[in-house]
Chains A and B, each alone.
Chain A
Amino acid sequence: MITRTLYYQTAALGIATILISSIIMLSGASPITVLDSMLSGAFSTPDQIARVFSTLSPLLLCACGLMFTFTAGLYNLGIEGQIVFGAIATMVPIRLLENSLPPALVILLAIAFGTAGGMLWGLFAGILNVYGRINEIFAGLGLNFVADGLALYLIFGPWKRPGVASMSGTEQFGEVLWLPTFGNTEASPVALAIALLALGATLLVLRGTYYGLQLRAVGYNLRAAYVLGVPSVRQLLSAFAICGGLAGVAGALQVLAVFHRLIPSISSHLGYLALLVAMLAGTNLWLLLPIAFFFSALNIGSLQLPLSLNLESSLAGVMQGMLVLAVLLGRGLSETNWLDKISVLRRNV
């Protein structure tokens, strides 16, 4: 079975490579040059490498969160909104206490608020799903719009820079509140440590605890799990809350480590990217880190496409999407025994 899956996966990756290459060639470039310039765009200067890591942290956090909801059989498309709401909540202690408490304490509070904010937004989607019977995909997407709207309102309204009404964001806060970085780059060891910690905890909880087992049972078959005495509602809501909480931390990192203010697209669409990472990893948690790293590198390296090759940097998104589609397709085909069916048909004829 394993070899069969492997066989299909390899074929799927091969097909994805061919498709991606043909798209690149259609846009008038060579796939090798594109790959080369993206990799060099991600790894040739310390700044670029640092940026790969500073993207990796929120991406990994979100992907870890999504493992909880996926395990519970849920599609948390509301993760973008959970990042945004986490980022908004992060700004609250910063704005209120920036000048009255020691910076380290403000940063801690900000991360705590961010986590709580994301968790709240996740729970909100969960409540709509469990009690309101609204499919979590639509509840999540709806809440994404609400969180986006709220961020815009704050940026244009109560939190706007003095005398300015622009969607370019709130005033930057003082450098003492920025997370410490490696040298003069953008990568923060604190952010990276938080993300790796979250990955470790995710591995531990989902693989090694009774809670993880219960969550899995809920994911397998909600009704059966309920009948067998698993507190299903609690499990579902907790999955939403954990995922939202981790997304909230990601939002806090976007504010504290990357942008140092609230901007309208504070999530940088990393939530959607994390969905791709999680889908590609499937249940194999060990794959999260390498895939997230690879996707971060593509994301950062893609800036070289307009710079060196005059190509659109959204090509990176096309590549990532293609890859995921192909792998899902490969997985699906490896489970349907259509080859067997055909041979059975042949024999019958």
Chain B
Amino acid sequence: MNFLGKSPLAAFPLLGRSRILWSALLLGMLAGGCATSTPTANTTSPTAGESPAGTTATTGEPFIVGMVLVGPKNDAGWNQSHYEGMQAVVQQMPNVKFEYIDKVNPADRPNVTGAQVADDLIAKGAKLVIFNSDDFKDDALETAKKHPDIAIIHASGDYAWKEGKNFKNQPNLGNIMARMEYGKMMAGCAAALGTETGKIGYLGALINDETRRYASAAYLGARYCWENYLNRNPDDLEFKVTWIGFWFNIPGKTLDPTKVADDFYNGGYDVVMSGIDTPEAAVQGKKAAAAGKPVKFVHYDYKNGCDLAPDICLGVPYYNWNVPYGEAIQKAMAGTMPNQFVWLAPNWSDINNPQTSMIGFLPGKALGDKKQYIDQLIKGMGDGSINLFTGPLNFQDGTPYLKAGETATDQQIWYLPQLLQGMEGPSQ
């Protein structure tokens, strides 16, 4: 056994030889690790986590609300709208303290699951935990089962829907979602009103019930306005969906939304609608417009989305998450478990009221005087005279979805199994 008595490196002859290589590899790994973590670099934000509730908390224990965010909290989209919605709640309810972790996905946090994050939030005292992505449906259920005395809300899921397909009888698990199909119809309408070429590109996320529902609603809105307000032939309207594979870009794993947006703009699609969490449609549109291309975009999720490129923005359908979250938090503070499926329509009398309407639509500058048509559409949908989920409508493969005159049920809308006829792009 005398070979054991050598110096620690003796059995690693190559280690000495290629130490430089090792160092380079290590540095590379470190650099890679840092590069993926840039999105939330601005940690100096004064609204971060604890300050508002910490200072203004009145007597007694604060009620801690935890949130698991799938993407970065400053993505100018889905995650930011959740984050800011909670900030608004905290401002109105000083006794609420907000704790969160963002970027909970296998690319940004490789060894972390949503359920683990929830465990840590609950360990920090959270009495209500919100999961903000469809992606977390298993994590939300697992957490609800493991912590039966903690209120769990899964935004965009359907496990609490008694009339739904996937009902799980879990008394402390609730779902919250907005009837964003209305917002998407307005967005699609804006796209149709804005296009010169008659070609609309839809930058899609992953494919599931929710995204099929939204892309199809956008198409219905676009077709309606194209046909009824512009008096054009619906067959001349092209509507193409390209799915990237996730809610935002994950280098090497998803399609690159920057490239997809560019391909749309370069391929004659002069309007691109965003269906993802991040603002590539706006950013690339701005570049293309600066280079002289007559392009426009429709944003999604985040109220201030048009600010990204105001001159070419046709509008943005957005969420006011403070509306349902504030209510759910109040109920939870009173001891009621959120075991309901909440699917909120806009407040039709004032869709842009931040206190009462969970979704709104802000028309963009690029819409010009065609904004009146959007107002007409909103009015029609609000008073029930326009229901775009009315037959005859066919699925993409030609099979019937709704018979003439038939209107879709909630289930038919939520679980839309295919894109609609007239749309280009894969359904599954």
**Chain A interface (Cβ within 8 Å of chain B)?**
1, 5, 28, 41, 44-45, 47-48, 51, 55, 70-71, 73-75, 77, 137, 148, 152, 156, 160, 163-169, 172, 184, 186, 207, 213, 216, 219-221, 258-259, 263-265, 267-270, 272, 276, 279, 282-284, 299-300, 303-304, 306-307, 310-314, 317-318, 321, 324-325, 328, 331-332, 335
Count B-side interface residues using an 8 Å CB cutoff. 66
On whether the beta carbons of B3 and A216 are closer than 8 Å, the reply is yes
Shortest CB distance A282–B (Å): 4
On whether the beta carbons of A70 and B12 are closer than 8 Å, the reply is yes
Chain A residues with CB below 8 A from B7, complex form: 1, 5, 335
Of B12, B116, B250, which one neighbours A282 at CB under 8 angstroms?
A: B12
On whether the beta carbons of B8 and A284 are closer than 8 Å, the reply is yes
Assess whether B43 is interfacial by the CB under 8 Å rule. yes
Of A70, A167, A321, which one neighbours B253 at CB under 8 angstroms?
A: A167
Known: A172-B138, A307-B99, A335-B7. A167 touches B254 (CB 8 A): yes
A313 to B33 Cα, complex, angstroms: 10
B3-14 contact mask (Cβ, 8 Å, vs A): 1 or 0: 110011111111
Shortest CB distance B59–A (Å): 24
Chain B residues with CB below 8 A from A325, complex form: 23, 26
With A166-B245, A318-B30 given, name 10 new contacts (CB 8 A): A5-B8, A152-B253, A165-B207, A167-B245, A186-B116, A265-B106, A304-B120, A306-B102, A307-B120, A321-B30
Task: Across the A-B interface, give the 7 residue pairs with the lowest CB-CB distance, nearest first.
Answer: A166-B206, A165-B207, A268-B111, A265-B106, A47-B119, A317-B33, A268-B110
Q: Which residue of B lies closest to A261 (CB)?
A: B138
Chain A residues with CB below 8 A from B9, complex form: 282-283, 331, 335
Residues of chain B from 31 to 88 with CB closer than 8 A to chain A in the complex: 33-34, 36-37, 40-41, 43, 48-49
- Interchain Cβ contacts under 8 Å between A and B, 12 examples: A74-B14, A163-B428, A165-B208, A213-B3, A267-B110, A303-B109, A304-B120, A306-B102, A314-B33, A318-B33, A335-B7, A335-B9
On whether the beta carbons of B29 and A272 are closer than 8 Å, the reply is yes
B119-134 contact mask (Cβ, 8 Å, vs A): 1 or 0: 1110110000000000
A313 to B103 Cα, complex, angstroms: 11
B250-268 contact mask (Cβ, 8 Å, vs A): 1 or 0: 1011100000000000000
Chain A residues with CB below 8 A from B112, complex form: 303
